[in-house]
Structure formats: C-alpha cells, structure tokens
Amino acid sequence: MERLQKVIANLGYASRRKAEELITKGHVQVNGVTVKELGTKVNPSDQIIVDGNLLKQNQKVYFLLNKPRGYISSTNDEKNRKTVIDLIKTKERIYPVGRLDYDTTGALILTNDGELTNLLIHPKNQIEKVYIAKINGILTKEEISKLRNGVYIDKVKTAKAKVRVKKYTKKTNTSLVELTIHEGKNHQVKKMFEAVNHEVIKLHREKFAFLDVQNLKSGEYRIINPKEVKKLYFETTKK
Ligand code: URA
C-alpha cells in the first residue's frame, strides 16, 4: 500500500505537490469514489482516475522458470554470460527471487514485486526448498544424520533438514539425494554435501515453496497466477 499522491507522482502524471492539489480539489477518484484526503493508501489493484484519465499502475508480474544450466541468476553479468532474464518475455523489469548457481537447474521465481521478494528470501520466513542432488558415493547413516541435524559451513551450523536417498547407482558410484532446506546460504546444498565429504555432480531445485517445475521443460516458464501469488504471501506469514 502506498500514499495516493506518491503513486500519482511516481506514475509521472504530476509532481508530488500538484498531485496533492489534484486530490484536495476533488479531481481524483479511487475505485469510482472521489478521494480528497491526502495520505489515502492505495494498492496496485486499485483503479485511479485523475480528471477522467485512468492511470495505469505498474503491473506486478510473476513467473516460474525451470532454469536451465548455463544461465546466471542475475539481471546482468560483467562477463556477458546469459542471464535468466533473457529467457522471459516481458516489458517489466523483473529479477530473480534469490539465486541458483550457473550450473544448477530448476525452480526459480522472477518478479518485479520487491515486497514479495524480500519476504520470500528472508530467513525468518523459512520458505521450504526441495533439491535433488546427484552426488558421488553413498551416504552413510552417520552422514545422513549429520545432514539432518546440521553441518557447519563457514563456521555456522545449518538448520535441520530433510534428507532422503532416492537411488544409488553402483556402476557410476553415485547417489540421488533429495534435500529439503529452508535456508538460502550461498551454495548451501553443495557446501552441506562437501561438509560430509561428497561432491555434488548435478543439482536441481524441484520445488520452491509449493511451486514445482515438473510440468516445465528446461528453459520453459509459466505465469504464477494470482491465487498462487496470494498463497506465496501466505506462506511467508506461517512461521
Ligand atoms: N545450493 C547450491 O549449492 N547451489 C544452488 O544453486 C542452490 C542451492
């Protein structure tokens, strides 16, 4: 929610002072009702009309991408590598919610909603992320227990995690492990496995909160619908 005069000014319709004047003089309608009070709060879905002109508020957009390998999770890159933004057709200035490594694939949200972004990445809100890691070797019971209870990365203990070994392939001596965490430290999954002496060969994020990418091919994306956006906001208030 933002103050009406600020929204009118930010949309480039008038200066802040002029916007205040327009409001107090009764030139502004919000959702069909004339508003003369300064400081009235509006949100992006409110309809604002000034002297009969409908103002187009910045539309919030939300995408769920199945990130392919070989893309960087930022809006630009000094090394000129491809970024996840290149994959999405939109006129809005979007950015990724958190990061996936260059070689990591899977669920990544992109949006221009700064408020939701901050809520989703704030550690206190404990948004669950499910990763599938292909690692070398086989996890011992002790290693699984360590991963579940927390390992030290950069001298800080990780929070409790869920660990499920899905498959072991003898021929290649590799395992597929599902790891569910709600933190988002830098390279967290790779470092957690490193802490128990296993290298991550491949990493895929299957799920971010309740959003999974099972129906999206690598590089494909879809719009996150308004009901899901609401649910994402709700997820951040649960803890
Ligand atoms: N953990 C990692 O190590 N890399 C990622 O891309 C995401 C989580």
Question: H/E/C letters for each residue in the chain?
Answer: CEEHHHHHHHCCCCCHHHHHHHHHCCCEEECCEECCCCCCEECCCCCEEECCEEECCCCCCEEEEEECCCCECCCCCCCCCCEHHHHCCCCCCCEECCCCCCCCEEEEEEECCHHHHHHHHCHHHCCCEEEEEEEECCCCHHHHHHHHHCCEECCEECCCCEEEEEEEECCCCEEEEEEEECCCCCCHHHHHHHHCCCCEEEEEEEEECCEECCCCCCCCEEECCHHHHHHHHHHCCCC
Structural domains present in the chain:
2-54 (3.10.290.10), 62-123+211-235 (3.30.70.580), 128-208 (3.30.70.1560)
Ligand 1 atom closest to 187 (CA): 3
For residue 190, the CA-to-ligand 1 centroid distance in Å is 6
Choosing from 46, 101, 103, 154, the catalytic residue is 101
Global pTM value: 0.79
pLDDT, tens digit (0-9, with 9 covering 90-100), for 168-209: 999 999 999 999 999 999 999 999 999 999 999 999 999 999
Residues 36-62, mean pLDDT to the nearest whole number: 88
Distance 231 CA to ligand 1 centre (A): 24
Q: Is 101 a catalytic residue?
A: yes
Question: Considering the chain, what percentage of its residues have pLDDT values greater than 70?
Answer: 99
* Res. 2 pLDDT band, cuts 50 70 90: confident
Residue 78: its pLDDT value, please?
Answer: 84
- pLDDT at 143 > cutoff 80: yes
Q: Flag whether pLDDT at 119 surpasses 80.
A: yes
Q: Check if 236 has its Cβ closer than 6 Å to any atom of ligand 1.
A: no
Find out whether the beta carbon of 212 lies less than 6 Å from any atom of ligand 1.
Answer: no
Residue 239 has what pLDDT?
64
